[in-house]
Amino acid sequence: MCQSGDCPCDGGVPGRHRRLKMRTPRTILAALLRGFAFAALVLLTGVGAAQESPALDVAVGAAESDAVEARAEETESGTATYPVGEALAGLEEEIHQVAAGSAIGRIADRILNTPFFSVQGTDLTLLKIIVAVLLLLIGLWVAKRMSTAVRKRLFTRFRVQRSYSLFLEKIVHAILASVFALWALQFAGIPLTIFAFLGGAIAIAAGFGGQELLANFISGIILMTEKPIREGDLIDLEGDYGRVEEIGPRSTRLAMPGNVDLLVPNRQLLESRIINWTLTDRQVRTEVSVGIAYGSDTRLFEKLLRQAVEEHPRVDASPTPDVLFEEFGDNSLAFLVFFWVTVESFLEQRRIKSDIRFRIDELCRENGIVIAFPQRDVHLDTLSPLEVRISKDGAPGA
């Protein structure tokens, strides 16, 4: 009995946990092989039952001789099919024999086996199309299950990053889907030469419409291998700040501060100027600028700035904060304090700077230091003194 708290066992039934864990690609493949074996056994049983009838012996013998002759002709002409195609031919013969017993069967047989057109001596019938579609659907389902199993194994057992495992899952699924598609056409006896006339159109479409797609795909591979950005990194993409959530084969998803997602093509990430705040570690340096009025005690203000920064619990003790007297500005004495923080988001960094500004304002009020504001001193140079009149509101000459 499983003792794990998060186990999917239902009611602690003994052995159920072991059965759930055994659902691996190997067991799925074994189940498929058993299904194919059962189908082959049923087919062979039907053939044996048909051959036991004396009335069909002559027809079977004639069919075998015709098949041998047709095989020899196909070998000479270079259009011989593979053994899997012979299995489909036997299935068509079985359907033809069963359908010959009734009028509806003969109509169905004519519909299923009437060739639409012929390519290099191979007839394309509705039956072949149906079989190819069914096998293709089964193959796509198997490809999806196997690629998902590969992703889970890489993510759980080998500790591969989620974005890399998702990327490899898509590649494995595309390869398996292509293999199963070719296998379905081969098993159905459909030659690949019937798609030759589409080759030119597909090449032109891939040349014009697939350039960006291919460029983004290759850029995604470069991002996966060189790792200039990774999942969870805080980046600045030409003024857009966000966290990297997922690196896909075509685009990368960024989580923006406004709780919105930004999809960036992978090619743009390689061609644009990107600031990665957390490429090596999550400790970043930030700053707060403050200006005080002329005539203030600058040394006292330096101590107050250092005190406000060191009191904050989220500011790292090492490296130590630095306070710089930047310049004598037009309206104030400009100071700048640098400090280091370990952040997980841009909002967290801005929140820390806001807390420090609040503390600086409190310390300045307590110590009589005035934070400067924009102002101008106007000096008038005249040849004679200026006459100034002070009058009440509404008085003459006001």
Q: How far is CA 64 from CA 47, 61, 72, 195, 345, in A?
A: 13, 5, 12, 31, 75
Residue among 91, 121, 87, 127 nearest 109 (CA): 127
Mean pLDDT of the chain: 75
What is the band of 225 on the pLDDT scale with cuts at 50, 70, 90?
confident
What is the band of 197 on the pLDDT scale with cuts at 50, 70, 90?
low
State mean pLDDT over 18-23: 40
The predicted-structure confidence for 306-355, as pLDDT tens digits, reads as follows 999 999 999 999 899 999 999 998 889 999 999 999 988 888 899 999 99
Same domain (yes/no): 146, 96: yes
Please provide the DSSP assignment of 172-191 as one string: HHHHHHHHHHHHHHHHTT--
Return the pLDDT at 371: 92
Is pLDDT at 264 greater than 80 in this prediction? yes
Residue 301: domain span: 283-366
Return the pLDDT at 290: 95
pTM: 0.54
- Each as own residue / partner, the long-range contacts of residues 232-238 (CB below 8 Å, 24 or more positions apart, any chain) are 232/278, 233/276, 233/277, 233/278, 233/279, 234/276, 234/277, 234/278, 234/343, 234/345, 234/346, 235/274, 235/275, 235/276, 235/277, 236/274, 236/275, 236/277, 237/264, 237/269, 237/272, 237/274, 238/272, 238/273
Is pLDDT at 208 greater than 80 in this prediction? no
Return the pLDDT at 79: 45
Same domain (yes/no): 33, 122: yes
State mean pLDDT over 274-301: 92
- Any bridge partners for residue 291, and if so which? 334
Return the pLDDT at 355: 96
Same domain (yes/no): 270, 293: no
328 in helix, strand or coil?
A: strand
Question: Nearest 5 degrees, angle CA 232-CA 233-CA 237?
Answer: 130
| 169 within domain boundaries | no
Mean pLDDT check: name the lowest of 181-190, 274-283, 296-305, 318-327: 181-190
Q: In this structure, what token pair is assigned to residue 186?
A: 């081969």
Same domain (yes/no): 333, 255: no
Return the pLDDT at 109: 67
Supply the CATH number for residue 296's domain: 3.30.70.100
Same domain (yes/no): 256, 288: no
Return the pLDDT at 118: 67
State mean pLDDT over 79-99: 52
Q: Which is more confidently placed, 192 or 152?
A: 152
Where are the strands (E) in 272-380, listed by range?
274-276, 283-292, 322-328, 333-342
| End residue of a domain, out of 106, 135, 152 | 152
Same domain (yes/no): 248, 309: no
CB 286 within 8 A of CB 321: no
Separation CA 182–CA 178 (nearest Å): 6
Return the pLDDT at 391: 76
Please provide the DSSP assignment of 192-216 as one string: GGGGGGGHHHHHHHHHHHSHHHHHH
Return the pLDDT at 172: 86
State mean pLDDT over 189-196: 68
Is pLDDT at 213 greater than 70 in this prediction? yes
State mean pLDDT over 355-371: 94
Q: How far is CA 103 from CA 41, 90, 110, in A?
A: 29, 22, 11
Query: Integer distance in angstroms from the first to the last C-alpha of the chain?
Result: 100
| 141 within domain boundaries | yes
Same domain (yes/no): 36, 51: yes
Same domain (yes/no): 236, 319: no
Return the pLDDT at 361: 95
State mean pLDDT over 267-277: 91
Return the pLDDT at 354: 95
CB 282 within 8 A of CB 348: no
Return the pLDDT at 265: 93
Return the pLDDT at 65: 53
Mean pLDDT check: name the lowest of 56-70, 136-150, 196-210: 56-70
371 in helix, strand or coil?
A: strand
Is pLDDT at 26 greater than 60 in this prediction? no
The predicted-structure confidence for 150-160, as pLDDT tens digits, reads as follows 888 877 777 77
Domain count, the chain: 3
CB 254 within 8 A of CB 262: yes
Separation CA 353–CA 343 (nearest Å): 12
Same domain (yes/no): 48, 116: yes
| 98 within domain boundaries | yes
**Phi and psi of 240, rounded to 5°?**
-100, 115
Return the pLDDT at 129: 80
